[in-house]
Amino acid sequence: MAKKIGLGRGLDALIQEKKVTAPVVNVPAPDGSGITKIATGKIKPNPMQPRRTFRVEALKELTASIKEHGILQPLLVRKKGKQFEVIAGERRLRAATAANLPEVPVILLDIGDQEALEIALIENLQRDDLNLMEEAEGYQELAEKFGLTQEKIAKRVGKARATVANMLRLLDLPGSIKKMLEGGQLSAGHGKVLLAVEIDLEKEFLAARCIRENLSVRALEKVVEKLKHPVKKPRAQKSDLPLDYIRHLSDKLHQHFGTAVHVNSTKTLANGKKVKGSIEIDYYNNEDLTRVLEILGIDSDDL
């Protein structure tokens, strides 16, 4: 069975809400909806278009394809005064203009700014055409301009709420890191880990290190964890007794008790504080303990 090619479930749902029909190409619908053709010069870009980056090579390839086969999927547009505004399909419009097409097939929609932005976002997301920052900024516009909660944004664009929340958090990163995310040098996972670093300069240093050393997200997590919980350096300390004397004393005590004796000297810290010393006498059974106690002058029967 041939695979059905369409606008995607998200776009279909939004368009169906407006009850748009699709009559035969070149036959304008009397109510302003459906597929028709409009002069290329009468269509202008959407100022709310979330996508800002259009790869030159990809655009050239699309232009060549349009010259050969025409536009296979109509643009989504809406009426704006005497002209029309692209809702979805700006890349196709740019390629059609470069190919000198006098007119392009379109579907006219009667929708407001919020729905226009939603459809533009969904179309680009389904095509994987948005970079991370374009996607995040699109969500931010839905939140700030139209007052949508993260839950509502997630529902409208078909994403998990946590995904939307994490994408919006990326906007808090320094500008240099956002450019790395925009260029695909860092992933959203890298950005999420960098958000846990408090100082922006450290964030930027770690981001550059990720690219330089090709660090995975997991490797970056380990680096950040070490920054948050650094290994404590041992305190500088000085033994109050020479090492040779401690060894000599240990040997003498060994001979006296007939068992190993460990002598740990007192120590003086860099701040002048003292660390206590200790003497440990080994024994191996109850009889041995009794013997050691007797040497110390302690009667085990009195204990």
Catalytic residues: 90
Question: Cβ(11)–Cβ(119) under 8 Å?
Answer: yes
> Which pairing describes strands 34-39 and 103-108: parallel, antiparallel, or unpaired?
antiparallel
How is residue 121 written in tokens? 């976002």
Q: Is the separation of the CB atoms in 240 and 266 below 8 Å?
A: yes
Determine whether 132 is exposed, middle or buried from the number of CB atoms within 10 Å of its CB (0-12, 13-18, 19+): buried
- Tokens encoding 286: 């109850």
In whole angstroms, give the CA distance from residue 118 to residue 19: 17
Instruction: Please report, for residues 79, 168, 204, the alpha-carbon distance to residue 46 in angstroms, rounded to integers and kept in the order given.
Output: 11, 22, 33
User: How many other CB atoms are there within 10 angstroms of residue 180's CB atom?
Assistant: 23
Q: What is the DSSP letter of 302?
A: G
Please answer whether residues 183 and 134 qualify as being in contact, where contact means their C-beta atoms are separated by less than 8 angstroms. Answer: no
d(Cα 93, Cα 120) in Å, to the nearest integer? 14
CA distance 219 to 256: 56
d(CA 296, CA 258): 12
Side chain identity at 88, as an amino acid letter? A
| 8-state DSSP, 195 | T
